[in-house]
Structures are given as C-alpha cells and as structure tokens.
Structure 1
Amino acid sequence: MNLRDGKFSDRWVYKEIFEEEAYKLPVTYPIQTVVDLGANIGLYTLFTKREHPEAHIICVEPDPANFELLKRNSDPYQGINLEQAGIWHSAVTLELKNPHGYPFTIYSEENLTSGNVRAVSMDWIVTKYQFKRIDLLKVDIEGAERMLFSKDYQNWLKRVKILQIELHDRRFPGCGQAFFKAIVEVFGVFNYYVRGNVTTIVNKRIP
C-alpha cells in the first residue's frame, strides 16, 4: 500500500477506512460487483478487496496524481478496472478545482468550453462492464453527488443493492436533498445506517 509522504490527507483517509472502519458493511451480503466513485488513491478499493477478495471492482478517479497512485496500489490485485474520469449524470467535460490543496478535497465543475477532464455516467459504466446489478456502490465525489442524483439515475440506481456515500452539504448545499429524493423514488423500501461520515443504504427491493 502506497501513501504519499507528508500528505496529511492520505493518512486521514487511511485512518477513516482501515482504523475506524467507517465503510465496514453493517449487513452481511455476498459482494461480487463493486463500483468505487471517487477512488482517490485506492484505499477503499484495497479495504474492499480485503473484505471481499473475489469482487470485481471498477474505480473511477479524475485527478491525474491520485490516479497514478491508484494504479500502483491496485496493480497487485486481480479483478480491478480503472477509469480516469469524473462521474456525472452524462458524458460532459469537467474542470477540477482544489482551493484547499488537499488530494481529497478536489471537486469538479462542468465546463464545456475549456474543461479538460472527461466525465462518464453510471449508465456508461453499467453498459461497458455489462452489470446487471451492482452489489456495492461507494460514492465520495466532493459534491458531484448533486449532479449524479439529479437526473438520469433511474436505470442504473435500480441495480444497486448497497450504496455507501459521503455527502458534502456543508460545502455544496443540496447534495443530501438530491440523493435522498432519488433513493426514495427508486429504492422505495430501504435500510439506513450512519457511521462517521458514511451513510449506508440497503435496497430492500433487491433480495
């Protein structure tokens, strides 16, 4: 496992995931397919591989520096595919911004004129990897969840059994509202858990 020397943010994420186990699943479920949105340097993916060694994991990360370390961290493992891209409700171009200077506070804005980062949609991921269902979806995308859950989510969201998300309403108001509106609409019946900054939703419509 590779962490950047002197980067407080990498240590903080490591502590959240491996020591505090904020993403430890509150339910027992066979995990075969995983999508990691906002994969950063891959610590959530490594944690998930430890818990579910046979899982096929798709990692989506737009930042070039994070992506390079993600590749190094995931290279020893089988069943991990990487997409250097942002996630949005549609295929657009994005601009990455990071006023706070930490690798885990990078956020994206749609910029169709001078954006230099491609965005993919969840429908694109489902089609490319031929996912009939997604056992586990992790979302930590620094406010872009407002856009991800604002439109065109019905087809892919109904395939998700367990969803783990970090909401960013403090910096980007409206994230939680968009997310829970979509969850209520598509899942209907669900179980709900909170541990630290992580909200876990279990879709009861999928056995």
Structure 2
Amino acid sequence: MLEETVSPDASEDETRDVRGLLLRYPGVARARVDRGADGRLRARVQGWDHPEDLSPAGPLSELTEINPHETRFLYDEIFAAESYLQGGITLREDAVVFDVGANIGMFSLFVGARCPSATVFAFEPVPDVFEALSRNVERHGVRARLLPFGLSDREQEITFNFYPGISIMSCRSDYADLDNEVDLIEQYVENARAAGASGREEHLARVQALVAEDFELSERRCALRSLSAVIEETGVPRIDLLKIDVQRAELDVLHGVDERHWPLVQQISMEVHDEKGTPTEGRVAVVRELLTANGFLTTVAEEDLLRGTGRYAVQAVRPEYADDPRPVTAAVGNARPLEARALAAWLAERLPAARLPQEVTVVDELPAAH
C-alpha cells in the first residue's frame, strides 16, 4: 500500500487558505497559521485593539498603506477614538454604509470588524490610493463594493492634487490650501504631545518632518459623480450611514443629493472644514442648516487631536431612526474582544475536520512572518 504524503507546496497552500479565512473573521487584524511537528495546524490571531503597538508585531503592520504615519493617524481616529460613531451614530444589522473618501479603507475595515453584516460602498477617486483600498478590503473579506471615483454635486472629471507623503490630504486641485495643511500638521503634533499619550513620539517626529520641506505633489485626473446618481444606479433601499471625509468638498457631496433621495439617508458622520480666512469659513453653520432642513438632529464637535485646526466633526441622525427594529451591532464603547472559542467554532462551520487548526489562540503580539 502506498503511503499518502502531502507535498510542501500543498501544505503551504493549506496554511495560506486557513490564514485567509481567519482574516475574514470580524475583528481579526492579523493571523498566523503554522504546522507543528505532529502535522496539525495551529493558529494565532491578533485583533485591532492594540492602539499603542506600532512595532512589526502590531495590528497595523500588514496593511497595504501609502505611509505608516498616516495609517497610524487613521487608526487613532477611526478604531481607537471611534470618531465616526460619536454623536449617537450606530451601525445596525445589515446596514448600508457609504464610505466617501475611503482612502486605504480604514473605515471600511472598521465597519467590517464591528458590523460584519453591513454592506459598504467605498468611494476613492485617486488611483494610487484606490489600489491600497482594494487590497485591504479584499484581504479582510469586507462586504464591499469599491468605486474608483469620488462624489460631488454633479458628474465631472477634474484634477486632484495627490500628496504621496500624506495621501489623506489629497484633494481637488481647486480646493488645495498647502499653508493650511502645514498648520494642521503642526497643530496636530502639538495637540498630541500635550495629550501626553505614550508610544507616539517616533510617529509624531515623522509627521512633523513633513513640514520641514515642500510637500511632494503629483496631479491625477479623477472622476466625480453625484450621490443621487449612485443611488439610482445601485438601487439601494436606504443609506444607514453616510460617512464623508473629502478635504473641503463635503458640501459638494451634500449638494449631490436630490430632494427625493434625502429620506433614504438615515445618519451622516462627516468632517467639515470651517477655516478662518478661507472660502470654508462659516461652513459648519451652512451644513447644519442644510441637514436640519432635511429632518436631521445634528451635533458638532472638535476632536481633541485636531482642536484649533478648523476641522469639525458633524454627526446627523434622523429622530425616527431610533425606531428601526434591527438590532444595533456597533456603538461607541460596545466593541468586544476576540474570543478564541468563538473563532474556533466559526472555523468549524467552514472547514472540514481534517483541516481545522488543533489550537486557536488570541495573542497581543504577533511577530512578522519570516
């Protein structure tokens, strides 16, 4: 009788497939799958809940990114501070989320981790950034439709300023304000140091170094469409959450909603620029008036790390949304840590017994693979 053997390539394929499946479990940031001396698989997983760990063993170390310093900034804002869930914003079961200004996908990953039944429509017009978004969302199995254009008040193609050194400030060329961006970076660093948070100094030094020389700038031609055109094309029955972060173009996005489509939008969480001495001065009041006229209750706040920068967080919720019968899966402070037993049971529903890891462990640190 011939003894059945497993080739090294087959073994590598198996561990890779199990690892890929683990990354699709809500809340898993990284995973390792190894085969022990007994031939059985063992899995280690790391969650998104280690905000101070910037080492190669940390949760951000395997993301496709443009720059590490802005990846950390996005993580602080979205995962650690839960900035887009402030002001009473929630994610309900089977939510439809529009992520406008998705960048590398940090908010889309957050939605996938906290509300896995949600469907995300992620908009990113800059091709260089869209590529990173695509890789991150695919890697983590987020239920998402990726759209390689931005939103505005009408369909058009325009020039964007793409800043490779800090892509989150990329914007329409006609809305660019480099002096303001320099002021923002300096104020952000000052606020972060004043807060005294540990583990940030190297990160802050790298961010501060951006203003020591001219920003590198490349131009990209990018497509824009109106939100109403997307609603018509996709046929979405509602938008549970419209998240907007588009570098001074936020009012254009709102102006792209036709009157007949406003009732479909249930919640909005957005960054609004209201910078003294610029064309955006007074915009918070304009946005608040528009949202109030369309039936929303609104709140306005300044995030601690962006205080004094002219960036405001505006959240808007329809009062009647509280009566939606679907259970809330994500709200401020209700995140749950990963549980190895639940993860093992989830794997058992998706893999044959012979391919199941013998052991699943949740770890705080996960060294890089060799």
| TM bucket normalised to smaller | 0.7 to 0.9
Partner of 1:81: 145
Partner of 1:146: 251
- How far off its partner does 1:156 sit? 2.9
For the residues of structure 1 that align with 2:220 and 2:170, how far apart are their CA atoms? Answer: 15
Q: 1:67-106, aligned counterparts within 5 Å? A: 67-76=130-139, 77-98=141-162, 101-106=165-170
The letter for the 2-side match of 1:181 is E
Q: 2:261 aligns with which of 141, 153, 156?
A: 156
Cα offsets for 1:97-141 (capped at 9, x unmatched): 24795110011157xxx9821111101221122112111110000
For the residues of structure 1 that align with 2:163 and 2:133, how far apart are their CA atoms? Answer: 22
Q: Which moved more, 1:176-185 or 1:144-153?
A: 144-153
Task: Check 1:195–1:157 CA distance in 2 against 1; reply closer, same or farther (3 A cut).
Answer: farther
Partner of 1:136: 241
Find out whether 1:122 has 2:227 as its counterpart: yes
For the residues of structure 1 that align with 2:138 and 2:164, how far apart are their CA atoms? Answer: 29
Q: Secondary structure at the match of 1:134?
A: coil
Number of matched pairs: 203
Q: Secondary structure at the match of 2:273?
A: coil
Q: 1:151-190, aligned counterparts within 5 Å? A: 152-170=257-275, 172-187=280-295, 189-190=296-297
For the residues of structure 2 that align with 1:139 and 1:35, how far apart are their CA atoms? Answer: 8
Q: Secondary structure at the match of 1:2?
A: coil
Q: Secondary structure at the match of 2:315?
A: strand
- How far off its partner does 1:5 sit? 7.2
Q: Which moved more, 1:126-135 or 1:16-25?
A: 16-25
Partner of 2:68: 7
- How far off its partner does 1:28 sit? 4.7
Cα offsets for 1:141-176 (capped at 9, x unmatched): 011112223465423332111110011222633542
Residues 124, 147 of structure 2: 8 Å contact kept: yes
Aligned-CA RMSD value: 2.6
Residues 164, 201 of structure 1: 8 Å contact kept: yes
Partner of 1:30: 92
For the residues of structure 2 that align with 1:181 and 1:45, how far apart are their CA atoms? Answer: 28
Residues 33, 55 of structure 1: 8 Å contact kept: yes
5+ residue gaps, structure 1: none
The letter for the 1-side match of 2:82 is E
The letter for the 2-side match of 1:199 is V
5+ residue gaps, structure 2: 1-61, 175-218, 304-311, 324-370
TM-score, normalization: structure 2? 0.50
Partner of 1:17: 78
Q: Which moved more, 1:90-99 or 1:38-47?
A: 90-99
The structure richer in helix per residue is 2
Task: Check 1:115–1:90 CA distance in 2 against 1; reply closer, same or farther (3 A cut).
Answer: farther
Task: Check 1:57–1:12 CA distance in 2 against 1; reply closer, same or farther (3 A cut).
Answer: same
Q: Secondary structure at the match of 1:12?
A: helix
Residues 146, 174 of structure 1: 8 Å contact kept: no
TM-score, normalization: structure 1? 0.85
Task: Check 1:183–1:109 CA distance in 2 against 1; reply closer, same or farther (3 A cut).
Answer: farther
Partner of 2:349: none
Residues 159, 221 of structure 2: 8 Å contact kept: yes
- How far off its partner does 1:7 sit? 3.4
- How far off its partner does 1:29 sit? 5.1
Q: Secondary structure at the match of 1:73?
A: helix
Structure showing greater Rg: 2
For the residues of structure 2 that align with 1:123 and 1:6, how far apart are their CA atoms? Answer: 33
Task: Check 1:115–1:98 CA distance in 2 against 1; reply closer, same or farther (3 A cut).
Answer: closer
The letter for the 2-side match of 1:137 is L
- How far off its partner does 1:3 sit? 4.5
Partner of 1:58: 121
Partner of 2:316: 201
For the residues of structure 2 that align with 1:27 and 1:139, how far apart are their CA atoms? Answer: 14
Q: Secondary structure at the match of 1:116?
A: strand
Residues 192, 202 of structure 1: 8 Å contact kept: no
Q: Secondary structure at the match of 1:128?
A: helix
